[in-house]
Amino acid sequence: MRLGWTTGKYSITYRAVKTVRINGKNKTQIVKTFGSEKQICEMYGVKDAKAWAKEQVRIMNEVEKEDSATFNIELCAANDLVSNEQHRFNGGYLFLQDIYYELGMHKICRAISARHPFEYDLNDVLSRLIYSRILFPSSKRNSFEESKRFIEQPSFELHDVYRSLSVIAEEADYIQSRIFKNSTAVQKRNTQVIYYDCTNFYFEIDNEEDDKQFGKSKENRPLPIVGMGLFMDSDGIPISFCIYPGNRNEQTTMIPLEKKMLSGFDMSKFVVCTDSGLSSATNRVFNSYNSENGMRGYITTQPIKILKDFLQEWCMADDGWLLDGDRSGKKYRISELDSEKDRDKIFYRSRWIKEEGIVHTDSGDRKQIIEQKLIVSYSLKYRDFQRHVRRGQIERAAKMIEKGRSSIERKKQNDPKRFIKTDHTTKYGEIADVSINSIDQSYIENEEKYDGFYAVCTNLNDNIGSIVRANKRRWEIEECFRIMKTDFEARPVYLNRKDRILAHFITCFISLIVYRYLEKKLNNKYTIDQILPTLQEMDFIKYEGKGYQPIYTRTELTDALHDAFGFCTSKQIVPIKKMRNIFSQTKK
């Protein structure tokens, strides 16, 4: 390559060019355009644009020469391996590292380190905890050992990991607020509608202690749990979280976390979307706020079954339905819908309702009338889906009866046992020992009448279609919890101290943010079941003094990763100098 340039009327444009032979003729090919003289001086802060461009061409020639170098690797069957010398390393973490540094985590660690008298490298510890949590999730002890699998080796010891957990917990609020602010520089955060939900994590211990309390476990385990409340934006990226005792009412966790976001995250306008279990009267009143300094609203699911009778009748009325997106104002009847033509359409109706609720305040409880809009949607596709799921559950219930294993002691919302009724035979007014189980047809009929209907309540007067669509994205926050629990193996928790438990969930929280941004860089084309195994298998064999030989399979996904992040390791061998350049690039 050589330096080329073209002279215009007002400026000179510099390029890297090379001569190629096409169809027996030499032609000049532009490799890279650096820009005009003025652009180069302004963008890179140099005075001599030509000298700068010439130096860039020299660097590009060196890189090209290095990339095309041939390495002779001598192996001898008679030579033993060096004892305890590691040769195999993982390089999949490099893509996570790029995002970690892009989020400014190294700067956050630097600021924290300035406030605490420790000597270990907090950034090195935290980054390895994040990469290990995503790629090789396990205990803190094992995470330390797993971090030695990465090409860049850790600079800390195991005791530094445990000591760092107390610091990370102490700085939990600072870490969350700074990540949010730093992330806005990476990509504009979509916080017009934010989502809140709660889950819990169990401990394999017998006794309650600190936040580890017996409560209603999401996984039905009779073990102490801690709860987690999580806010997520409309793009599926976490915003903030809190940890609370397992026996605490999850409805009371939302407002304190919102207040932290209002004061520390520079958020003043948002709509909170939750399920009905979290939407207490207190929470709805708190989010019914509109002033010059900010605005808050809410959207919450509304089970039709618990509405008053006249509202249930209105929700499931046959006539008066509007079609989402249809501006003509035409009204439809459910009984006249075509099962094929109208299958993918969503119909809705709305009205304002008043509800009396108990609002909890610092000065005591008080009754308050809450005025809100009730929006009901109806979908033939959703109706058919509910019926398909129910048929499977009824079949399972029938098999339980057939095998004599049915029990009606616990009937949960999606438990097939809810379809089983038990008839007891009597003799002279006494219950006999024999009972007969059968499918409860009346229960099925009562449940079927709600099929296809879905209701939400809101204090917004916005477009109904946009409100319904916003509520439908709540599945993403449930997916966040699934990723943490299943893919990142956040539970069971093996730590005991309260501060270290909080630090554990901070690493899970950051890991989730890093992973979500990784998905977005890949344009959401790949699932977690594709991404994580690929990163885990991106191993290299190190040849001392030579470079790193990839031993993974090059695929469409590995090519997509390299295209998205601007570096490539899918070469027959990656020279040591080239790998060091990649390290630097991922830490820019």
528-569 tens-digit pLDDT = 999 999 999 999 999 888 899 999 999 999 999 999 999 999
Burial class (CB within 10 angstroms; exposed 0-12, middle 13-18, buried 19+) of 499: middle
Q: Tell me how far apart the alpha carbons of residues 226 and 165 are, in angstroms, rounded to a whole number.
A: 18
Q: Which residues of the chain have pLDDT under 50?
A: none
Three state DSSP letters for 372-398: EEEEEEECHHHHHHHHHHHHHHHHHHH
Tokens of 285: 């009143």
Burial class (CB within 10 angstroms; exposed 0-12, middle 13-18, buried 19+) of 223: middle
Q: Tell me how far apart the alpha carbons of residues 345 and 326 are, in angstroms, rounded to a whole number.
A: 11
The confidence score (pLDDT) of residue 38 equals 85
User: What would you measure as the largest C-alpha separation in the chain, in angstroms?
Assistant: 112
> Cis (ω within 30 of 0) for the bond into 492?
yes
Q: Tell me how far apart the alpha carbons of residues 568 and 558 are, in angstroms, rounded to a whole number.
A: 9
The confidence score (pLDDT) of residue 155 equals 92
Q: How far is CA 508 from CA 228, 274, 363, 502, in A?
A: 12, 22, 37, 10
Distance of CA 100 to the CA centre of its chain: 15
Give the 3-state secondary structure of residue 572.
Answer: coil
User: Would you tell me the crossing angle of helices 172-186 and 498-521 to the nearest 10 degrees?
Assistant: 10
Burial class (CB within 10 angstroms; exposed 0-12, middle 13-18, buried 19+) of 304: middle
Q: Where are the domains of the chain?
A: 2-67, 174-379+452-521, 382-448, 538-586
Is-contact 89 149, C-beta < 8 A?
yes
The confidence score (pLDDT) of residue 186 equals 82
* Helix or strand run (H / E) with residue 242: strand 238-245
The confidence score (pLDDT) of residue 381 equals 92
The confidence score (pLDDT) of residue 163 equals 94
Question: What does the DSSP 8-state code read for residue 334?
Answer: G
Beta strands per DSSP E along 293-346: 294-301, 322-323
Q: How far is CA 13 from CA 3, 49, 320, in A?
A: 11, 10, 66
Q: Tell me how far apart the alpha carbons of residues 295 and 421 are, in angstroms, rounded to a whole number.
A: 50
Q: Tell me how far apart the alpha carbons of residues 149 and 133 are, in angstroms, rounded to a whole number.
A: 13
| Residue 398: other Cβ atoms inside 10 A | 16
CATH of domain 174-379+452-521: 3.90.350
Is-contact 198 249, C-beta < 8 A?
no
Q: Tell me how far apart the alpha carbons of residues 552 and 572 are, in angstroms, rounded to a whole number.
A: 11
Beta strands per DSSP E along 391-537: 420-427, 430-439, 453-458
Q: Tell me how far apart the alpha carbons of residues 161 and 163 are, in angstroms, rounded to a whole number.
A: 5
Question: What does the DSSP 8-state code read for residue 30?
Answer: E
